[in-house]
Amino acid sequence: MKTWKKNLVAGAVLVTVCAGIYVNWLYTEDQTTANLTDTLNEEKLMSADMLVMNDGSTLSVDTEVNDTTITDYFAAVRLSRQEARDSAVSILQEAMAYSEDAEAAQSNKKLEELVQVALCEAQIESLVIAKGYTDCVAYISDEGVSVAVASPEGGLEKPDVAVIADIVMTQSSYTIEDIHVVEVL
């Protein structure tokens, strides 16, 4: 009974993600997106600003210079991230379809973890935007969380970084040392 419910939930999440991809594709169909390899290979301007917390830990703030418009940058990054996720999901689904019960259970667990990471990233992005920032993209990996935030007027200040770090820490299990905030100009 529980397996049926888990499969139903995983299927519903997968359908929702696919619908989101389709809507994103329709929205960005007329827009040209930046080539991410060009963007990522450009020189980056990093600032030496550090946010020192009360407990003595520090949080670095990086600044990234980008030639594309901010909207195109965030749309391109989200599209690239979604395509990578879709590829991983399809591989896991194939593994589940053609494997035995133990391997299928392991693939199902990886799929659930992937969905949880995607949901956590979406929650972080939504909450950062709700705090008044124009746009942001969150990346969660085993090493930590990177949050790219559109630069507000006057740039990111230490209180801004503290707000973003607080959002990330409340939505995930990462500590302040694992959080990297990148300002996209």
For 33-80, write each residue's pLDDT tens digit: 444 444 443 333 333 344 444 455 555 544 444 444 666 788 888 888
pLDDT the model gives residue 168: 94
Count structural domains, the chain: 1
CA distance 142 to 39: 24
Contact 53, 171 (CB under 8 A): no
Task: Name the range with the highest mean pLDDT among 17-21, 102-106, 153-157.
Answer: 153-157
Contact 182, 63 (CB under 8 A): yes
pTM to 2 decimal places: 0.58
- Which of helix, strand or coil describes residue 63? strand
| CA–centroid distance for 17 within its chain | 14
CA distance 28 to 22: 10
- Which of helix, strand or coil describes residue 137? strand
pLDDT (tens digit, 9 = 90+) per residue, 71-122? Answer: 678 888 888 888 888 888 888 788 777 777 777 778 788 888 888 888 899 8
Q: CATH no. for residue 149?
A: 1.10.287.4300
What range defines the domain where residue 22 resides?
2-184
